[in-house]
Structure 1
């Protein structure tokens, strides 16, 4: 039977911080929450109220936020035609004041001169039905330091492909996106952190995409034949013109690398099939 994965975010923190993490964990036990449509496929890290794994349940997407890293562990969202429209890109990057005051609130200027893009996890172009929904994607809790070639090239190509599935084929997608590891290479070279150490630069960016044929059919429509795309891409320069298809992996592989349990709301017998194969379309 599929076992839940331990949180990789804890493993990545320096040893001196472990007592703090354990105290936070004991004081704020994590509780799975699945009330959001964006968590239809599951809560990959059982995010709750922990300092390193805090659940932010927003109308536009769900986030597991890591105050130690200054970035989301993952962001999860539903994508169908109802989320798309003609609202313009707001470009109003800003701190997220919904996170606790003892958690550093990353600002847009923290990325200035870093050589890394303010990389969206839930893309701006996936939320164009209203100005408010587009604006929500510019909260810094939805942003990671992303190498420009990754963000503007291979990553953007996959984002566009996802929207094409929705617009031209009428699919509904459930997408989970995040990063792991420490140390990426931007336009100014390799860095492990930016913002005076407050924001960790990840080594890899990843995404899991569940492709459904019917809108609002939910987890019950996931079968052993359901298409699932998983990618694991280096957060470096030099991948601008690469194909995202070159970075496809199994969900099982991504779970072993991140420590997360993806698609946990899907029956285990179905998970075992769809998580063990690499997408080939």
Structure 2
């Protein structure tokens, strides 16, 4: 019996070997990726013994909740065109059933008559791929008392710009938070609402990391990656143009004490966090 493979067999073996050794091409199809791929800014944990830094992990976003303030410390979410679709805005504001038993539940009516909007962190329009996704953005743990002009104009324009970047073939990691006490809404200045149970923040910030679609996202952040950091007053008299409120990630970290891109290589963090974005705003 002939112990040597035929020419055809040898050719098929060579082709198979080449296919196995060839690197797979980078994915180009947008996906719905995890929300903490670039890090957990405050080291939040899902433990009722940590009421001022309580981690809630939802399919649509992740957040650190502050029970005593009745608002999130920060909310982090992934955005690509895979999260965008045709589902309508649900407007079903409601208490979050995932909070530990016995904690005060901020409700849909908690902001009534305050002069402040129920301001989304993860926006409704960032989650339109399904009704369930959109509905999840109306949980009150995703809200802060936000000056109407800040929410509807300045922040609304920045949110729409982020969706424009996603539709253009990018994926974004977005972290939004607040700090300080006391804002100015349509009815004047307040430090708290809902009989003192909900704190009105003084400042509202956002960090946006823009990447081409791919995998292993934290490792693909480089010194040249576009990172947009914005810090605005929670004041109804602010400028509607968000570009004028750009700052550095370092400045936001100094104000909050958070480590915002902790999963990114330290040398890369140092480069991108010190820079103030000067790219387009629409």
TM-score normalised per structure 2: 0.85
| Equivalent residue number for residue 148 of structure 1 | 148
| Equivalent residue number for residue 114 of structure 1 | 114
Runs of 4+ with deviation above 4 angstroms: none
| Equivalent residue number for residue 8 of structure 2 | none
| Equivalent residue number for residue 265 of structure 1 | 263
Question: Which residue, 34, 39, 45 being the options, matches 1:37?
Answer: 34
CA contact (8 A) 1:80 1:215 kept: no
2: CA distance, partners of 1:104 / 1:216: 39
Alignment of 1:153-232 (within 5 A): 153-167=153-167, 169-232=168-231
1: CA distance, partners of 2:179 / 2:202: 6
Q: How many residues align?
A: 244
SS at match of 2:145: strand
Deviation of 1:218 after TM superposition, in Å, equals 1.1
Alignment of 1:84-95 (within 5 A): 84-95=84-95
1: CA distance, partners of 2:254 / 2:191: 22
In structure 1, list runs of 5 or more residues that go unmatched.
1-35
CA contact (8 A) 1:208 1:251 kept: yes
- Quick check: 1:129 aligned with 2:126? no
Deviation of 1:217 after TM superposition, in Å, equals 4.4
2: CA distance, partners of 1:216 / 1:96: 32
| Equivalent residue number for residue 5 of structure 1 | none
- 1:130-169 C-alpha deviation (Å, 9 max, x unpaired): 00000000000000000001001100010000000011x2
1: CA distance, partners of 2:215 / 2:43: 23
2: CA distance, partners of 1:209 / 1:103: 31
2: CA distance, partners of 1:269 / 1:216: 20
CA contact (8 A) 1:74 1:179 kept: yes
1: CA distance, partners of 2:264 / 2:219: 8
Compared CA separation, residues 83 and 210, structure 1 to 2 (3 A): same
Query: Which protein shows a greater Rg?
Result: 2
In structure 2, list runs of 5 or more residues that go unmatched.
1-32
Deviation of 1:97 after TM superposition, in Å, equals 1.1
Deviation of 1:72 after TM superposition, in Å, equals 0.3
TM-score normalised per structure 1: 0.85
CA contact (8 A) 2:95 2:108 kept: yes
| Equivalent residue number for residue 72 of structure 2 | 72
1: CA distance, partners of 2:215 / 2:140: 29
Deviation of 1:175 after TM superposition, in Å, equals 0.2
CA contact (8 A) 1:208 1:229 kept: yes
SS at match of 2:89: coil
SS at match of 1:110: coil
CA contact (8 A) 1:193 1:201 kept: yes
- Quick check: 1:46 aligned with 2:31? no
2: CA distance, partners of 1:216 / 1:76: 18
1: CA distance, partners of 2:104 / 2:228: 33
